[in-house]
Amino acid sequence: MTFRSIEICAGAGGQALGLEQAGFEHECLVEFEPAACETLRLNRPSWNVVHGDVREFSGLKFSGIDLLAGGVPCPPFSKAGKQLGSTDERDLFPEALRLVREIKPKAVMLENVRGLLDPVFGDYRRMILDSLSEHGYVGEWKLINASDCGVSQLRPRAILVALQEKYLPGFEWPHPNAVPPATVGQVLADLMAANGWKGVAEWQAKANQIAPTLVGGSKKHGGPDLGPTRAKKAWAALGVDGMGLANSAPEMNFVGMPRLTVRMAARIQGFPDEWQLSGPKTSAYRQVGNAFPPPVALAVGRQIRAALLNTEQSSTRNGIHHGQTPKTRSKRFAQGTLFE
């Protein structure tokens, strides 16, 4: 059974790739940044990539699609910023809710930074859930660490899943992987050794933890680096110089702490090596740093697809018309409770 989706704020395609792996076919991906649009087209020429502002995008022709997904901008809720929330002009949750009303998808999946789960945004989260409820959806916020899905960095993300009520009984959040993710050294050793670096074994032994959370950087500042002072210290503890990015792997006789390349950062983020990134180094890194790790999107997307599939198959077996709503309802999910 084919399940269709559209995505807003698609970025470099981390969420889109994970959802594709989970079994969704993308009808449309909306993205504002030209370089990110080129990345999407470069990797999936068949995808319908729409370059433009989501505020000007109408979802009416996608009415009834299975999934509306998106990673709306993080700065309004990020602790690295001023956390202006709904007063920040970059807040696109209202646009996502507008598209829910226009499209009436079976399921909704939106992700953002952990800061959105702070108490200061409690009323805002409830407003979003109440708005969804008015249109027949039951939603819940969940904190998911990317490391629980096999990604080699902690990267906590606030994820909202909302479903039309009849699909609710079949949904469960993904369980954390039983096996911990690989360390930075294990993940990057071959890339660090690409130019024959003699010190790679010693470096790998030191880089024996998962990575700090990658950040995308701001257009208001200079070139890319690996985050604020605390993040740079964490990277230094792993033997990585976080003050910038390298153009290539260390040379044979390199001495000191190496820097990551864009490809290394992409692998830490969970992108496959064949995923190409468009644009110069700074632009490419910002796409990687702002991305939703594909393995996390895969884990959540697989659970959403299972809920839709189980309900559709059950309806077919029992002769239930799609307009009917099962009487059973998941109490753990019905109140939109925040689980951390």
What residues are labeled active site? 74
Q: Closest Cα to residue 71, out of 131, 19, 133, 132?
A: 19
Grouping H, G, I as helix, E, B as strand and the rest as coil, residue 30 is strand
Q: Cα–Cα distance between 186 and 250 in angstroms, integer?
A: 16
Q: Cα–Cα distance between 12 and 215 in angstroms, integer?
A: 14
Counting other chains too, the contacts that 127-131 makes at CB distance below 8 Å and 24 or more residues apart are: 128/93, 128/97, 128/160, 129/162, 129/336, 131/97
> 158 forms bridges with which residues in the sheet?
112, 143
Q: At residue 87, what are phi and psi to the nearest 5 degrees?
A: -85, -5
Q: Cα–Cα distance between 91 and 137 in angstroms, integer?
A: 21
Grouping H, G, I as helix, E, B as strand and the rest as coil, residue 160 is strand
Q: Cα–Cα distance between 209 and 27 in angstroms, integer?
A: 39
296 burial (CB, 10 Å; 0-12 / 13-18 / 19+) is buried
C-alpha pair distances (Å), 225 with each of 6, 181, 184, 233: 32, 24, 17, 12
